[in-house]
Structure 1
């Protein structure tokens, strides 16, 4: 069986690595891939958003399963185009991908389905949004605990957490005034800031059957102690002890099942990975956002622990036969991923800096280095993105996994490389 993985991040490297372990898979292609996927699969020089060329490649090479990694090609309709060509693909249609592609659509669906989430207001321009903040918070010194979100896709950066009126007005201007995130800011949401710890619960569904994956905890803010701007994710670990069995069951019954039913009622049946980003508040879990694909970096520690054949699971989901597969098997040991980033991320950064120590890091027991923003120049691996590597380890305890991951991190060098030092400390605390 031939598999095509679409994307070039750490998530796609992890998917290609895991799918390649299946005895049924004879060849894995990754489009466009990175320096890491080039070692374990065959990279294809086609952009993840080039729908026509991807469909043509899948047809020409008789691809048995296409797995779409990032959100952009899902929103563009890559799944629809592959299905129209008679090809098997894992992922949601463009209509279903609106659950991530439009935060306004997502919030309205949550409200209609009575799924717990933060109170919110939507706006179509900066003037109306600014007037709302000024009217509600009359004094410039007022504390304004809100979150301002761009409606569309913004690579994980279109969410700005505010504490003061000035913060909120500045966030509105960045998103809807200056259009810092482009057309993603054509609409925006202002919602209450929820208090608690974040958790990620992912599920694989064929639109009927839902298979929930172990809960993980991502680290979105750039710096230690959850400070600094939001990023695409600076590290994650799995499972997280903050989601016990009772909490997990509540998330399934109050969040995952209702949203699958709500999407079906909206005539946008959902097939693929349903990712619930949650805040565990004093009033119970509330949805921060939904993503429609594997999280990055949650995907890396999840797949490190998965013992079942991922190819079988994704084929069953694509074919509408998830109810027929055996329960998933997991390594009991926890896993942890530390993201190493380029200097300047999540802002601007320089590319082309040579990365050393990858071989030494790979020799650390129970460690896998997943490439994200990397490429090869003159035989050297260099940084080509903001989040560059996902150093992932598995251990008997979270502490053991953390030690292994950071031991490997210390062996990797390039000018300006950095990472958070506190991934998983919430669990250890």
Structure 2
């Protein structure tokens, strides 16, 4: 079949790399793609925000199936528009994508259907939010309600930090995403990422991971979109997966169907594993980034077949098998990330660096200029490796990172530390 993948980041490169290996694939296109994706797909410069242009591209290229990578087009309703045009698509409807598009919506759903999560309140005025924070005390979490590219969350351990986070939201630091604020309980425990493929009725567990949000070694500095990840998450034992399915995923699927927005696509649960079991931090309605990179290295089965089954309502007949070897990815970011990444620096040596059997270098924010590869975003490269242990995967990834000729880049040196402590 002819497939169109929408997006241009590291997540999309990892998905493209895996889809390209499918025996049922005829031709893979990507809009707009990046130089790494161009090695496995034909990239076409179409803006994912222009739904009419995407539909026209599908008709021009006889696209049978569309896979939507990023969250913004999903929240804007691209899956609905494609389905209306008679084009099969992997991704939730606009109504179902509210699980990511509005943190308040998800919190209210949790309350309505008894899904474990932290206590919270929603606010549209700064003063009432601040009064609630003063009443609750710190630590506390302040979130912009809408999409903020992973940067609209402040985990505050000091009162002034929480109050400043409220002001940042209402003063426009995150655009329209901060027009409403969710203030919620700080949960103690270990974070984990849990994925399910969903077809509106069935939820198929689809791997676990843990990522590193803080910009600096030792989990220090500001939150980012993610500086690295590894899979599987040791804390997500089979018993914990079963508990998560029973107490979080299945009630969410039932609840979304009950309110008239059945969920189809990938459901990404950000979890806190507490003394009282798993609690939901937030839902995302797309594959994680950089979690997808490690999941794709471990997936044994045909990704395209699984995604099509989710789109067609056939997941009850499917299973997902995983390599036992863990995988780990290190994000190489542009200097200044996440506040003000410097673009335009030249990256060299990727072909030589990535010539390893157990390593893939996924492009997250690159472009071509005058025949050279340049940094064109905050998170630029994802060096991803597998190994018999997390430590072995870590060593393989960092050996390749050291060979990349990019003085203007930086990275954390301790990705996987929590899992390695357990080995």
Shared fold, TM over 0.5: yes
Task: Tell me the equivalent position of 1:141.
Answer: none
Q: Secondary structure at the match of 1:108?
A: helix
Native 8 Å contact 2:123 2:182 kept in 1: yes
Tell me which moved more, 300-309 or 46-55: 46-55
The structure 1 residue matched to 2:363, chosen from 365, 371, 377, is 371
The structure 2 residue matched to 1:243, chosen from 224, 236, 241, is 236
Task: Tell me the equivalent position of 2:352.
Answer: 360
Task: Tell me the equivalent position of 1:415.
Answer: 407
Task: Tell me the equivalent position of 1:389.
Answer: 381
Q: Secondary structure at the match of 2:410?
A: coil
Native 8 Å contact 1:202 1:214 kept in 2: yes
* 1:135 positional shift: 4.7
Residue pairs, 1:196-275, within 5 angstroms: 196-275=189-268
Q: Distance in 2 between matches of 1:116 and 1:294?
A: 22
Native 8 Å contact 1:402 1:424 kept in 2: yes
Q: Distance in 1 between matches of 2:174 and 2:250?
A: 32
Task: Tell me the equivalent position of 2:163.
Answer: 169
* 1:136 positional shift: 4.8
Q: Secondary structure at the match of 1:336?
A: strand
Q: Distance in 1 between matches of 2:382 and 2:50?
A: 26
Q: Distance in 1 between matches of 2:189 and 2:400?
A: 31
Q: Distance in 1 between matches of 2:340 and 2:271?
A: 29
The structure 2 residue matched to 1:350, chosen from 342, 347, 350, is 342
* 1:300 positional shift: 0.7
Residue pairs, 1:33-48, within 5 angstroms: 33-48=33-48
Per-residue CA distance 1:218-249 (angstroms, 9 max, x = gap): 11111122221111111111111111111111
* 1:39 positional shift: 1.7
- Within the alignment, does 1:183 sit opposite 2:176 as a pair? yes
Where does the alignment leave 5 or more consecutive residues of structure 1 unmatched? Answer: 138-143
Per-residue CA distance 1:89-111 (angstroms, 9 max, x = gap): 00000000000000000111011
Q: Distance in 1 between matches of 2:288 and 2:398?
A: 21
* 1:365 positional shift: 3.1
Q: Distance in 2 between matches of 1:413 and 1:356?
A: 5
Residue pairs, 1:46-57, within 5 angstroms: 46-57=46-57
Task: Tell me the equivalent position of 1:78.
Answer: 78
Q: Distance in 2 between matches of 1:388 and 1:91?
A: 25
* 1:165 positional shift: 1.0
Per-residue CA distance 1:312-362 (angstroms, 9 max, x = gap): 11111111111123x222211111111110111110022111001211221
Classify 1:329/1:132 alpha carbon distance in 2 versus 1 (closer, same or farther; 3 Å): closer
Native 8 Å contact 1:206 1:322 kept in 2: yes
Native 8 Å contact 2:133 2:183 kept in 1: no
Q: Secondary structure at the match of 2:132?
A: helix
Q: Distance in 2 between matches of 1:290 and 1:422?
A: 26
Tell me which moved more, 407-416 or 5-14: 407-416
Residue pairs, 1:308-327, within 5 angstroms: 308-325=301-318, 327=319
* 1:131 positional shift: 2.7
Residue pairs, 1:399-410, within 5 angstroms: 399-410=391-402
* 1:134 positional shift: 3.7
* 1:211 positional shift: 0.9
Q: TM-score, normalised by structure 1?
A: 0.96
Q: Distance in 2 between matches of 1:50 and 1:221?
A: 33
Task: Tell me the equivalent position of 1:8.
Answer: 8
Classify 1:135/1:212 alpha carbon distance in 2 versus 1 (closer, same or farther; 3 Å): closer
Q: Distance in 1 between matches of 2:157 and 2:123?
A: 20
- Within the alignment, does 1:289 sit opposite 2:282 as a pair? yes
Q: Distance in 1 between matches of 2:21 and 2:136?
A: 56
Tell me which moved more, 357-366 or 286-295: 357-366
Q: Distance in 2 between matches of 1:2 and 1:364?
A: 30
Q: Distance in 1 between matches of 2:155 and 2:241?
A: 26
Task: Tell me the equivalent position of 1:122.
Answer: 122
Where does the alignment leave 5 or more consecutive residues of structure 2 unmatched? Answer: none
Q: TM-score, normalised by structure 2?
A: 0.98
Native 8 Å contact 2:199 2:310 kept in 1: yes
Tell me which moved more, 148-157 or 344-353: 344-353
Count of aligned residue pairs for this structure pair: 421
CA RMSD of aligned residues (A): 1.1
- Within the alignment, does 1:147 sit opposite 2:113 as a pair? no
